[in-house]
Chain A
Amino acid sequence: MSMDRREFLKIAGLAGLGLGIGAGASGWIFSRGLEASDFIPSPGALTAKRWAMVVVLSKFKTEDDYKRVIKACHKFHNVPDIGNPKDEIKWIWTDTYEHVFVGQENEYLPEAFKEKPFPLLCNHCTNAPCVRVCPTKATFKRKDGITMQDYHRCIGCRFCMAACPYGARSFNWRDPRPFIKETNPTFPTRTKGVVEKCTYCVELLEKGEMPKCVQASNGGLIFGDLQDPNSEVRKVLSENFSMRRKAELGTGPSVFYIIGGGEEDV
Chain B
Amino acid sequence: MYDGGKIITGIIIFLLFATFPFYYNIGKAHVKPDPKLDTPVIKQLKEKKCVESKAYMRANHMQLLDKWRNQALREANRTYRNEEGKLFEISLQNTCMRCHSNKQKFCDECHNYAEVKPYCWDCHFVKEAKEGGAAK
Contact = CB atoms under 8 A, between A and B. Distances in A.
A148, A152, A190: most-surrounded residue (chain B CB, <10 A): A152
Nearest to B68: A39
Interface string A141-169: 01110001011100000000000000000
Contacts of A126: none
Given A45-B78, A143-B76, A191 B123 contact: yes
7 contacts: A34-B56, A40-B77, A41-B76, A41-B78, A41-B79, A202-B76, A206-B76
A185 B128 CA distance: 11
A38 interface: yes
A225 to B, nearest CB: 15
A235 B40 CA distance: 50
Nearest to B63: A33
B52 A186 contact: no
Contacts, number: 79
Interface of A: 33-43, 45, 140, 142-144, 148, 150-152, 177, 183, 185-192, 202-203, 206
B50 interface: no
Contact of B125 (A45, A150, A183, A190): A183
B132 to A, nearest CB: 14
Contact of A39 (B71, B83, B94): B71
A130 to B, nearest CB: 16
Given A34-B83, A188-B125, A39 B52 contact: no
Nearest to B60: A33
Interface of B: 52, 56, 60, 63, 67, 69, 71, 73-85, 87, 89-90, 93-94, 119, 122-125, 127, 130, 135
A189 B125 contact: yes
B119 A191 contact: yes
A41 B122 CA distance: 27
Contact of A33 (B56, B71, B74, B130): B56
B118 to A, nearest CB: 11
Given A150-B74, A191-B123, 18 more contacts: A33-B56, A34-B82, A36-B82, A36-B84, A37-B80, A37-B83, A38-B81, A39-B79, A40-B77, A40-B79, A40-B81, A41-B77, A41-B79, A42-B78, A45-B78, A185-B127, A185-B130, A206-B76
B52 to A, nearest CB: 7
A107 B111 CA distance: 64
A36 B85 contact: yes
A36 B56 CA distance: 14
Contacts of A186: 93-94
A19 B54 CA distance: 34
A34 B73 CA distance: 21
Given A37-B81, A191-B122, A144 B76 contact: yes
Given A33-B60, A37-B81, A206-B76, A42 B89 contact: yes
Contacts of A190: 123
Contacts of B122: 191-192
Contact of A37 (B52, B94, B125, B127): B52
B76 A188 contact: no
A37 B135 CA distance: 32
6 shortest A-B CB distances, which residue pairs?
A39-B77, A191-B122, A39-B71, A188-B123, A42-B78, A42-B79
A78 to B, nearest CB: 9
